[in-house]
Each structure stands twice: as structure tokens, then as C-alpha cells.
Structure 1
Amino acid sequence: MKDFLCDNFQNSVEEVLIRHKSILDILTKLQESSAKINRAVIKSVTSCGCIKINASNHEVPDDINYEDIKEYLNNHLQGELCEVCREKIIEEMGKNLFYITALANNLDINLYEVILEEHKKIEALGKFSLY
């Protein structure tokens, strides 16, 4: 059974997408929306300062089990997003999801099937999916 929320969202995108119907428009808007997500995260660091990035090499011992590597890795973030930055990033992620969905619609691909297939890969490969 297909997921109602995904199908409903996909149908809504199909109904409201008028101006950027061309595959070329969708691809460029998708790329633009990705850049805006990056910009919003960076502004959270550089303008607001609610989060900080402290990046360095991951120090992973040579003799460690593969399952234990995760304990030595981190996301390089310190702090938490303030409400303003969180809302902006959510807004930009929503636009990105809109254009991903528009691309799926244009290519006659069901978004739920994409999610389901990716979930199956993750479940089958688990930690070995190497994402």
C-alpha cells in the first residue's frame, strides 16, 4: 500500500507547479534550493552563531571493529539551532523537497517508491551501505 502522505504531497506539487514545469527549470530550481540550504546552515554559523563548526580529522584507531567506528566519528557541530535558523533551514529543505517531487513527477516516478527502495537498501546493507 502506498503511503498516503507521500502520494498526497506528490499530487499537490503536481497541481501547483505551473511556472517551472520544464525539466530544465526543475533541475535548476532543485540546484538553487540545495544552495539555499547550504547558505542557511552557513548563516547559522557565521551570522547568528547559534551553531559552530569545529572540524578536524577523525581519529580512528587502526585495530577497531567496523561496528565501533561510529563511536569515533562526529558531525563537527557544536551548539543547537536557534528557532529562527531552524525555521529558515526547514523552509529551504521544504523547497528542496518540492523540487525533488516535481522532478519525480516530471519523470513519472513515484516518490514513495523512491523512499521505499532506498529504505530497503539501507535495511539490507545496514552499516555496510557506507553512507
Structure 2
Amino acid sequence: MSAPTLQEFQDQVSELLLRHRSLLDVLTKYSQSNASVNRAVAKSITECGCIELNARPQGFSEEMELDQAKQQSKSHMKGTLCENCLDIVRSELGKNVFYMSALCNLLDIRLEDVVARESDKCSTLGLFNMT
């Protein structure tokens, strides 16, 4: 079975969403699902321990070349998600994408267009995209 396209998924969400058709309901469920993703990742650190976090300053300087700055940047993470934590994080991310799709449906926005525009922006702006 192949993965559905973003449009197919968005259509599926539209058919399945019964209870939360209110924009305010979807906004709060989307926010809640985002918090659940954060919580699942945090629990993989604090309860399971499959990943560790050791955050320190990145050590960038004004004189650094872009390649050197890219090599200097770190995720601050050590280890990988165990199978149990991976399943939980995937599940929470799935709920988050579900409510993002529901929000797109209510606002008459195609999720494919959102991804395409963001991809174009990334291609155009490159490293400067999120600064």
C-alpha cells in the first residue's frame, strides 16, 4: 500500500472529522496535539532515557563561513528513540498532522499548496529561511 498524497489525506480528514468542525475547536486541538508531540519527546528524555539532551551555546561567530557554521551547529541530542518512544512520537505527530489538515480544510487551504510554498521559500532563501 502506497502512502496517500497530501490531498488524499486532507480529503480523508474532512470525511472523518465529525466532532470538531468549529474553527476554535480545531485550533485548540491542533495546539493540544503540538503540546503532546513536545511531551512525548520530553518523556523519551526524562522517563525512558533513550535520548539525552545536552544543550550548550552553538558557538557561532560573525567571522565564520557558512560551511563552518553549519558544521558547528549541533542538535544537542545524543542517542536515538527506542522503538516504544518512536511509536509514541509518530502517533502524536500523526494527530498533529491530522488537525493541521483539519485547519486547512476549514480555512479552504490545500495542504499541498502550503508544503509547495514552504519548499519554494526554502529553495529561494536557503540557509537564511528561518533567521
TM-score interval for Structure 1 and Structure 2 normalised by the shorter chain: over 0.9
Q: Deviations over 1:72-100 (max 9, x none)?
A: 11010001100000000000000000000
- In the alignment, residue 32 of structure 1 is paired with which amino acid? Q
CA distance in 2, matches of 1:88, 1:76: 21
Q: Deviations over 1:21-75 (max 9, x none)?
A: 1001000000100110011001000110000000011122442113321111101
CA distance in 2, matches of 1:89, 1:120: 28
Is 1:7–1:112's contact at 8 Å kept on the other side of the alignment? yes
* Residue 19 (str. 1) matches residue 19 (str. 2): yes
Q: Deviations over 1:87-115 (max 9, x none)?
A: 00000000000000000000000000000
RMSD: 1.2
Bigger shift: 101-110 or 4-13?
4-13
Instruction: Provide the identity percentage.
Output: 42
Q: Which runs of 5+ in 1 are unaligned?
A: none
Q: Which runs of 5+ in 2 are unaligned?
A: none
Q: Which residue of 2 aligns with 1:40?
A: 40
Instruction: Return the TM-score normalized by structure 1.
Output: 0.93
Q: Per the alignment, in what secondary structure is the counterpart of residue 108 of structure 1?
A: coil
- Number of aligned residue pairs: give it: 128
Instruction: Return the TM-score normalized by structure 2.
Output: 0.93
Q: Which residue of 1 aligns with 2:81?
A: 81
Q: Which residue of 2 aligns with 1:55?
A: 55
Q: Per the alignment, in what secondary structure is the counterpart of residue 96 of structure 2?
A: helix
Q: Per the alignment, in what secondary structure is the counterpart of residue 52 of structure 1?
A: strand
Q: Which residue of 2 aligns with 1:100?
A: 100
